[in-house]
Structure 1
């Protein structure tokens, strides 16, 4: 087909409806509203048949959102082109204060034709399933953390203080089981808080077991195993990183990966004035959280522990060399930056940024073929 035969289709996708707009190829091509349909698959099939009947090569796009990637997979299965775009990177006019579904769909079609939209990485169904599992584990961790905070706040309100200095140690947990409140209603409330914390901890352990079971049969397990050579990156953390980032070969340089993770400093510069601020925090929040947690382990002196040595047994020597270089580099950086930075959190975030570069380097050493 010729280039002029392309029809760009912008979809503003919602749970209950899909607004469709069309942009004909070429600078002067017409941009118009096609119509609104229900958000069901059957409704989209009917609309697709009408669009196919026009005889154009169809190129679809829609924003990444809560409806996921099933629409993308359906469009691809029918032999059409589809792009899922990053909502935060869609160009917007500063003075445009009117937002409707129709205008959004028309804007998507026009910008897609102009090549101004940024595509997001779409995982295959198996990769997405593993990612859902690792995210469920992170949700359980967050739930447990919140349950602990509520429990501590409840005890503080009643002026009940633990005699043990270490929170959540075995002695602390035994003490929690023996706490008695003066009123029956308060005792029930306390027990519910305690049960919530315990259930969240059990859920986290169950999900960790499921991750280890399913990841070993995953196509990206070689990458997971290779990342486990790094300090602070065990099975669950490595699985979460790879599940979130997917094929790292799509990043030509580690700086692109750092930017994708939102670990690069923000900047507002004009003329001779240069001002850099906190990290951008754009991109994948889950992978960024795992990297920051892993980076805390580099505050200690370089060492290959017995547990780490066991993880590295079947890993090639050149991968282990990269992991050792990461230890030497990041532990030195922690000591150096700790002398100049007032906050350890800032230092650890800087280490997480550099850790991402070592992860990129390890992945590039693996013989993992990208999906067709």
Structure 2
């Protein structure tokens, strides 16, 4: 007998509903810890199917529970909401978490679940590294902008050098007239920029190490202007390119399809 397990996952718990023989049965809550999930998984059947929505901890849930069941599926939350409104009626007096878990189970059982591709462990790791790299770059940019804001607030003219934060730019910066507190603030920002630069170098090294033997990265590096970080980001975002049956689907997936504009 087919059984689908819908899980509405949160930070500390997951609400679980079973779909079995056309009926929904509320199981209760499961602790969102590795030990809690493993204990729950040991009580499942090898033929069970588990469904969760894509959230920050969804991939971890799938990796823990995957070995215990036939299939662990991640669903697109926006599409789930749209399809559920159109196709599934729920008891409005029930708790929202139970409703959400039940909807996931029902959609999978009826064949309408909008599934999200689950990357393999290597691709998942590469995605994390690339995401952290982007976070560090954005943080460093914010700190640099704070330095520029201080200079602008005190009518300091634009730096004559191409980069305010290289050695020539920093030498020029030390000669500018600024209040002592602002000078100290800039010194703190410069130290933060240097620290972030070290973090970025370590992340770049980790990414390069992970993609040394990746043929897709090597192919992308033949394109002018594409470095290891950019190539790795593309590969991490796409994952297994074989899952795209035609080029147009890949172009749509990465958001490069030109929009069609119709004049009124």
The two structures have a TM-score, normalised by structure 2, of 0.85
SS for the counterpart of 1:57 is coil
CA contact (8 A) 1:162 1:175 kept: no
Match of 1:13 in 2: 9
CA contact (8 A) 1:7 1:57 kept: yes
Instruction: Specify which structure has the bigger relative contact order, considering alpha-carbon pairs within 8 angstroms and separated by 6 or more residues.
Output: 2
Q: Does 1:93 align with 2:85?
A: yes
Match of 1:22 in 2: 18
SS for the counterpart of 2:65 is helix
Match of 1:111 in 2: 107
Query: How many residues in Structure 1 have an aligned counterpart in Structure 2?
Result: 255
Which ranges of structure 1 fall in alignment gaps of 5 or more residues? 268-273, 277-372
CA contact (8 A) 1:162 1:172 kept: no
Q: Does 1:223 align with 2:216?
A: yes
SS for the counterpart of 1:66 is coil
**How do residues 50-129 of structure 1 correspond to structure 2 at under 5 angstroms?**
50-52=43-45, 57-90=47-80, 91-93=83-85, 100-129=96-125
SS for the counterpart of 2:157 is coil
Give the whole-Å Cα distance in 2 for the aligned partners of 1:254 and 1:50: 43
Q: Sort the Cα spacing of 1:37 and 1:75 in 2 relative to 1 into closer, same or farther, 3 A.
A: closer
Alignment root-mean-square deviation, CA: 2.7
Shift of 1:167: 4.3
State the Cα deviation string for residues 117-159 of structure 1 (Å, max 9, x = none). 2222222222222222222221121112111211111111111
Q: Sort the Cα spacing of 1:12 and 1:163 in 2 relative to 1 into closer, same or farther, 3 A.
A: closer
CA contact (8 A) 1:133 1:207 kept: yes
Shift of 1:64: 1.5
Which ranges of structure 2 fall in alignment gaps of 5 or more residues? none
SS for the counterpart of 1:31 is strand
Give the whole-Å Cα distance in 1 for the aligned partners of 2:56 and 2:62: 13
Give the whole-Å Cα distance in 1 for the aligned partners of 2:29 and 2:78: 24
The two structures have a TM-score, normalised by structure 1, of 0.62
Match of 1:32 in 2: 25
Which of 130, 134, 149 aligns to 1:134? It is 130
**How do residues 332-347 of structure 1 correspond to structure 2 at under 5 angstroms?**
none
Give the whole-Å Cα distance in 1 for the aligned partners of 2:220 and 2:36: 44
SS for the counterpart of 1:8 is strand
Q: Sort the Cα spacing of 1:8 and 1:186 in 2 relative to 1 into closer, same or farther, 3 A.
A: same
Give the whole-Å Cα distance in 1 for the aligned partners of 2:192 and 2:62: 38
Shift of 1:58: 0.6
Q: Sort the Cα spacing of 1:222 and 1:92 in 2 relative to 1 into closer, same or farther, 3 A.
A: same
